[in-house]
A and B are shown apart, each in its own frame.
Chain A
Amino acid sequence: MNKYISLKLTKKYRTIRYMKLNLFILPSLIGFLILYLVPFLWGIKYSFSLSGFDNTFVGLDNYKSLLSNRAFHIAMKNTAMFMGIAIPLIMVLSFALALAIFEFKFPKLIYLFILIPMAIPSASVVGFFRKLMDNGNFSLMNSQYAMIGVILIFIWKNTGYNLIIYLVGLMQIDHSFIEVSKLDGANFLQILWHIIIPLCTPTTVFVGIVSIVNSFKVFKDVYILQGNYPNMHIYMLQHFMNNKFVDLEYEKLTSAAFIFALIIFVFVFLLFYFDNRYKRKVGE
Chain B
Amino acid sequence: MKRIISRILIILLIILPTACTSTTNKKNTSGDVINPAPTGEKQELTILFDAIGEINLWNENIAYTNYKSDFEKAYGVKVKLEALSPYTDFTPDFYMKRTSEYNEKLAAKLYLKNGPELIYKRFFFPQESPSIKKAIVNVKGKIKNLEKIYDAFLVNDLYYIPISVTVPCLELQKKVLIDLGIKKTIINWNKANYIKVRKQWAVTKPLFTFSELTDIISSYMDNITLFDGNQVRINTPEMKACISAIRKEIWSGNYKLDKNYTYKNYYNMIFDDTSDEFKKGMIQMQSMEYNEKCLFTPNSENALNTKFTSDRFNYGNMLTLQPFTIGKIDKLYSAFMVNKNGKNLELAYAFINGLLSKKTQLAIFMASRISESQSFYPVSKEIEGDIKTLESKEKLSPKAITLKESVLNQIKNERVLKPYFKNEKEERIYSSWYGDILQFIFADTPYTDAELTKALQILEDKYTVLLNE
Is A154 positioned at the interface, with any CB of B under 8 Å from its CB?
A: no
Tell me if A44 counts as interface (CB < 8 A to partner B): yes
- Cα–Cα distance between A151 and B250 once the two chains are bound (Å): 44
Q: Are A48 and B469 in contact, with the CB atoms below 8 A?
A: no
Q: A69 to B464, alpha carbons, bound, how many Å?
A: 12
B465 and A71 contacting across the interface, CB-CB below 8 Å: yes
* List of B residues within 8 angstroms of A74 by Cβ: 465, 468
Chain B hits for A51, CB < 8 A: 131, 134-135
A190 within 8 A of B: no
Chain B binder among A86-94, A96-104, A196-204, A239-247: A239-247
Q: Which of B23, B110, B465, B468 has the most CB of A within 10 A?
A: B465
Return the contact of B134 from the options A45, A54, A69, A71 (Cβ within 8 A). A54
A235 touches B465 (CB 8 A): yes
B13 contact from A41, A56, A69, Cβ within 8 A = A41
Q: Mark B27-58, 1 if CB is under 8 A from A, else 0.
A: 10101000000000000000000000000000
CB distance from B359 to the nearest CB of A (A): 34
Minimal beta-carbon separation of B444 from chain A (angstroms)? 14
The interface centre, meaning the residue of A45, A52, A54, A240 with most chain B CB atoms within 10 A of its CB, is A54
Distance from B8 Cβ to chain A, minimum over Cβ atoms (Å): 8
The answer to whether A35 has its CB under 8 Å from any CB of chain B is no
Question: What is the CB-to-nearest-CB distance from B433 to chain A, in angstroms, rounded to a whole number?
Answer: 13
Contact B135 A54 (CB under 8 A): yes
Contact across chains for A41 and B469 when beta carbons are under 8 A apart: no
Q: How far is the CA of A141 from the CA of B458 in the complex (A)?
A: 11
| Contact call A52/B131, Cβ cutoff below 8 A | yes
CB-CB < 8 A to A52: which residues of B?
A: 107, 111, 131
What string of 1s and 0s marks CB contacts (under 8 Å) between B104-136 and chain A? 100100110000000000000000011110110
Interface centre among B12, B20, B21, B111 (most CB of A within 10 A): B20
- Residues on A with beta carbons closer than 8 Å to the beta carbon of B134: 50-51, 53-54
Contacts of B465 in A (CB 8 A): 71, 74, 229, 232, 235
A162 to B21, CA, bound (A): 46
B111 to chain A, nearest CB (A): 6
Contact B20 A49 (CB under 8 A): yes
Complex Cα gap A94–B135 (Å):
50
Q: Is A70 an interface residue (CB 8 A)?
A: yes
Shortest distance between the CB of A243 and any CB in chain B (Å):
6
Determine whether B181 belongs to the interface, using a CB cutoff of 8 Å to chain A.
no
Question: With the chains together, A229 CA to B459 CA distance in Å?
Answer: 10
Write out the residue numbers on chain A whose beta carbons fall within 8 Å of the beta carbon of B29. 56
Q: Closest CB-CB distance, A79 to chain B, in whole Å?
A: 14
Answer whether residue B22 sits at the interface, using C-beta atoms and an 8 A cutoff.
yes
Chain A: interface size category:
35 or more
Say whether B31 contacts A50, CB under 8 Å. Answer: yes
Pick from B8, B13, B111: contact of A53, CB below 8 A: B111
Instruction: State the CA gap A42–B20 with chains docked (Å).
Output: 10
Q: Are A53 and B340 in contact (CB under 8 A)?
A: yes
Asked, given contacts A38-B12, A53-B341, whether A232 binds B20 with beta carbons under 8 Å apart, the answer is no
| A48-B20, A55-B21, A56-B29 given; A142·B132 CB < 8 A | no
B289 to chain A, nearest CB (A): 42
Q: Are B16 and A42 in contact (CB-based, < 8 A)?
A: yes
Question: For residues 336 through 390 of chain B, which have their beta carbon under 8 Å from a beta carbon of chain A?
Answer: 340-341
B237 proximal to A (CB < 8 A): no
Give, as a whole number of angstroms, the nearest-CB distance from A46 to chain B: 9
Q: By the criterion CB–CB under 8 Å, are A232 and B464 in contact?
A: yes
Answer whether residue B1 sits at the interface, using C-beta atoms and an 8 A cutoff.
Answer: yes
Contact status A231-B19, CB under 8 Å: no
Verify B17–A229 contact, CB threshold 8 A: no
Cβ of A57 within 8 Å of any chain B Cβ, yes or no, is: yes
Kindly list chain A residues whose C-beta atoms are within 8 Å of the C-beta of B230.
70
Distance A176 CA – B131 CA, assembled complex (angstroms): 64
Q: How far is the CB of A143 from chain B (nearest CB, A)?
A: 9
Contacts of A10 in B (CB 8 A): none
Nearest-CB distance from B201 to chain A (Å)?
39
* Given A51-B131, A231-B461, A44 and B340 contact (CB-CB distance below 8 Å): no
Contacts of A266 in B (CB 8 A): none
Whole-angstrom CA separation of A279 from B146 in the bound complex: 74
The contact of B17 among A48, A69, A240, A250, by CB within 8 Å, is A48
Q: Is A22 an interface residue (CB 8 A)?
A: yes
Q: B424: shortest Cβ distance to chain A, in Å?
A: 9
Proximity bits, B1-27, A CB within 8 Å = 1, else 0: 100010011001100110111110001
- Which one of B1, B129, B458 contacts A248 once the chains associate, using CB atoms below 8 Å? B129
Report how far A240 CA is from B27 CA in the complex, Å.
31
Q: Which chain A positions have C-beta within 8 A of B241?
A: none
Give the chain B neighbours of A240 by CB distance below 8 A.
Answer: 469
- Alpha-carbon distance A41/B9, docked complex (angstroms): 9
Q: Contact check: which of A53, A56, A57, A244 meets B469 at CB < 8 Å? A: A244
- The reply to whether A57 and B131 form a contact with Cβ atoms under 8 Å apart is no
Q: Could you say which residues of chain A place their CB within 8 Å of the CB of B462?
A: 229-232
Inter-chain contact A249/B131, CB cutoff 8 Å: yes
Complex Cα distance A111/B5, Å? 40
Inter-chain CA distance A71–B111, complex, in Å, is 27
Alpha-carbon gap, A74 to B31, bound state (A): 31
| Residue of B19, B130, B134, B464 contacting most chain A CB atoms (<10 Å) | B134
Give the Cβ gap from A244 to chain B, nearest Cβ, in Å: 7
Which residues, 425 to 469 on B, are CB-close (under 8 Å) to A?
Answer: 458, 461-466, 468-469
- The listed residue (A44, A49, A229, A244) touching B466 by CB distance below 8 A is A229
Contact B131 A45, beta carbon cutoff 8 Å: no
- Given the complex, which residues of B lie within 8 Å of A55, measured CB to CB? 19-23
Residue B91 at the chain A interface, CB threshold 8 Å: no
Contact string against B for A residues 32-75, beta-carbon threshold 8 Å, 1 for contact and 0 otherwise? 01000110011011001111111111000000000001111010
| Set of chain A residues within 8 Å of B31, measured between Cβ atoms | 50, 54, 56
Q: Jot down 13 A-B pairs with beta carbons below 8 A, ordered by A.
A: A33-B8, A41-B9, A48-B20, A52-B111, A53-B132, A53-B134, A56-B27, A57-B20, A71-B466, A229-B463, A229-B466, A231-B461, A247-B469
By a beta-carbon cutoff of 8 Å, the part of chain A in contact with chain B is 22, 29, 33, 37-38, 41-42, 44-45, 48-57, 69-72, 74, 142, 229-232, 235, 240, 243-244, 246-250
In addition to A45-B19, A229-B462, 19 A-B residue pairs with Cβ atoms within 8 Å of each other are A48-B20, A50-B31, A50-B134, A53-B110, A54-B31, A55-B22, A55-B23, A56-B31, A57-B20, A70-B468, A74-B465, A231-B461, A232-B464, A235-B465, A240-B469, A243-B469, A247-B469, A248-B131, A249-B129
